[in-house]
Structure 1
Amino acid sequence: MALPKHASRLERIWHYTYLVICALIFLFLMAPILVVIPLSFNAEPYFTFTEKMLRLDPEGYSTRWYDLLLTFGMQAPDAARDGSWWADAWSNAAWIQATKNSIIIGFFSTLLATVLGTIAALGLSRPEMPGRRVIMAILISPMIVPIIIVATGLFFFYSAISIQDWGIPYLGVILAHATLGIPFVIITVTATLVGFDHSLTRAAASMGASPTLTFLRVQMPLILPGVISGALFAFVTSFDEVVVVLFVGGLDEQTIPRQMWNGIREQISPAILSVATILVLISIALLTTVELLRRRSEKLRGLSPG
């Protein structure tokens, strides 16, 4: 907000002081990311800036750690990079396998969380819904309860029902991540439904539309930005989660965060910084998408002048 021309001297001092404080807080929050990104291009196997990097010497920078993400775990990493080399990387590279597992788990957990969270949000948006506050508190509790408690409870619950013997790969992790993602979907869809005009659904019903048709043709187009935003938050939650995977995931269910955790414990490699940089870029892209969807949702509901 711009400072008005009639502001006093004290107000101007406070205005600029406030901007400086905000900038310092932003720098404090962004400092770990700003440090990780250049370190991922370190030519040496260190987690600190070398003398060549500080001098901006090109020899101090390298993409060797990004290349290691493709070659680590391969049977013949030094072979010619032809079709067989890429087939070897796709089948055996540890980081690629972790990426595939993360995408599979993230996709199905997001799909499940989006469907259940949207249904719950539609029900909670109705004023005649009994015990809405209690139900809402229960459904969003995975956001409040420490993740270690959730992971421990899921571990004992899965052990009691022997879910590992059901023969369905990734099932336990998918259900666990869906549980963690549902609150995000509920919150975003509920926020979208705040400005929803329910007279539209009543008008559709009076014209003979069935509840399913009313939802698909009237409600869904208006709340779609909120649904997609919730789905993106659920996917990011699944993609970055490691504690639950450590408790309930099988040995062959290595996700990217779990692979990073194993790398920190077993062998310290700057390749972890390369993965962290890639995850930061993915998160920025997803958050940008969420912001664009939020603005589109406000425009559809008439809450913004655009």
Structure 2
Amino acid sequence: MKYGVSFVTAIGCAILVMPILIVVTISFGGDTFVVFPPRHYSLHWFHVLFGDLDWREAFVSSVRIALVACVLATFTGFLAAYALVRGTFPFKRLILTFTLMPMIVPTIITSVAMYFLTAKLGLVGNVLWVGMCHAVLALPLVVLILSSVLQSIDPNLERAALSLGASRARMLRTLVAPLALPGMVSAALFAFLASFDELVVAMFLTNAQSKTLPVKIWSSLELEIEPTISAVSTVLIIVTAFVLVCETLLRRSSSRASSRVASH
């Protein structure tokens, strides 16, 4: 039975990974149009990608917006998660539900609402503002991750720090934040990915000067399907895989460190 489940799981994973492998294979083709399997292989489309100013600007814009969203969502999410985990105030469940709303409400509805506000403020295409809007979408992920991390921190440590004269702000900065640092880095990585891959909100809030990589891909697909898009998709896959590997390694190293502390 165990081997049967493993076999079915392996088949399911292979089916899920197959489209990714096809896209990566096409990106290394040397043909002038999309064909699978490629008749010969080269790095031509990667040279076209990194040599094209529009694609480079879209990539840089995506990174800048994702960094803004990452920093804002992690900082705000840490404070919100701490308040929700340690706080004893009324309507806490309602506030938690409101915080998680961007994950529940369809993205198109959120995008339309953000667009009307953005247009009224005259901030369409503003990188900082788009990053703030992306941070709203990433905030639920950060709150969920950090809430789990903060629940594992012994509150007696915080009480001890406060009883020794530390202010709450200093206690958060010097005690809670270092203990929650691996979780904060993990949450920041997921917030970065959530912003970097976001399409719908970016389509509403960006303009020609600040359009992100997903928006550029969407625009290119509307005109024609060319192998450059497969090269861009491969870059996105590599970035996503790199961030997920970093998060996994960080989580494992944190688990080992916790095990050593517990054993001592």
Decide whether the 8 Å contact of 1:298 with 1:304 is kept in 2: no
Show the 5 A alignment for 1:63-82: 63-72=43-52
Distance 1:299 1:198 in 2: 22
SS of residue in 1 equivalent to 2:86 = coil
Query: How much has 1:94 moved relative to structure 2?
Result: 1.0
- In structure 2, what residue type is equivalent to 1:272? I
- Cα gap change, 1:50/1:286 in structure 2, threshold over 3 Å: closer, same or farther? closer
Query: How much has 1:267 moved relative to structure 2?
Result: 2.9
Decide which structure has the larger Cα Rg and report it. Answer: 1
Decide whether the 8 Å contact of 2:199 with 2:214 is kept in 1: yes
The equivalent of 1:214 in structure 2 is: 171
Decide whether the 8 Å contact of 1:222 with 1:301 is kept in 2: no
State the TM-score, normalized to the length of structure 2: 0.93
Query: How much has 1:302 moved relative to structure 2?
Result: 4.6
Distance 1:30 1:51 in 2: 19
Decide whether the 8 Å contact of 2:34 with 2:225 is kept in 1: no
Residue of structure 2 aligned with 1:48, choices 6, 12, 35: 35
Show the 5 A alignment for 1:247-258: 247-258=204-215
Distance 2:67 2:133 in 1: 13
Distance 2:148 2:254 in 1: 10
Decide whether the 8 Å contact of 2:25 with 2:38 is kept in 1: no
Query: How much has 1:285 moved relative to structure 2?
Result: 1.1
Query: How much has 1:141 moved relative to structure 2?
Result: 1.4
Residue of structure 1 aligned with 2:216, choices 259, 270, 275: 259
Distance 2:164 2:72 in 1: 32
More helix by share: 2
- Cα gap change, 1:202/1:302 in structure 2, threshold over 3 Å: closer, same or farther? farther
- In structure 2, what residue type is equivalent to 1:35? I
Show the 5 A alignment for 1:116-155: 116-155=76-115
Query: How much has 1:300 moved relative to structure 2?
Result: 4.7
Show the 5 A alignment for 1:151-230: 151-164=111-124, 169-230=126-187
Structure 1 unaligned residues grouped into runs of 5+: 1-13, 53-59, 73-92
The equivalent of 2:236 in structure 1 is: 279
* 1:8-57: CA deviation from partner (whole Å, max 9, x where unpaired): xxxxxx111101111111112111111111110111123222473xxxxx
Residue of structure 2 aligned with 1:233, choices 180, 190, 196: 190
**Is 1:19 the counterpart of 2:9 in the alignment?**
no
Residue of structure 1 aligned with 2:19, choices 24, 32, 47: 32
SS of residue in 2 equivalent to 1:128 = coil
Distance 1:181 1:304 in 2: 32
Distance 2:175 2:38 in 1: 62
Structure 2 unaligned residues grouped into runs of 5+: none
Query: How much has 1:195 moved relative to structure 2?
Result: 1.1
* 1:79-121: CA deviation from partner (whole Å, max 9, x where unpaired): xxxxxxxxxxxxxx11111111111111111111111111100
- Cα gap change, 1:163/1:282 in structure 2, threshold over 3 Å: closer, same or farther? closer
Residue of structure 2 aligned with 1:270, choices 202, 220, 227: 227
Show the 5 A alignment for 1:81-100: 93-100=53-60
Number of aligned pairs? 263
Distance 2:54 2:166 in 1: 52
Decide whether the 8 Å contact of 1:195 with 1:301 is kept in 2: no
Distance 1:27 1:161 in 2: 47
- In structure 2, what residue type is equivalent to 1:113? A
Distance 1:296 1:148 in 2: 38
Distance 1:293 1:236 in 2: 16
Distance 1:35 1:297 in 2: 35
- Cα gap change, 1:62/1:259 in structure 2, threshold over 3 Å: closer, same or farther? same
Decide whether the 8 Å contact of 2:30 with 2:38 is kept in 1: no
Query: How much has 1:256 moved relative to structure 2?
Result: 0.9
Decide whether the 8 Å contact of 2:25 with 2:37 is kept in 1: no
Taking only aligned residues, the RMSD between alpha carbons, in angstroms, comes to: 2.0
Distance 1:231 1:172 in 2: 18
Q: Which has the higher contact order (CA 8 A, sep 6+)?
A: 2
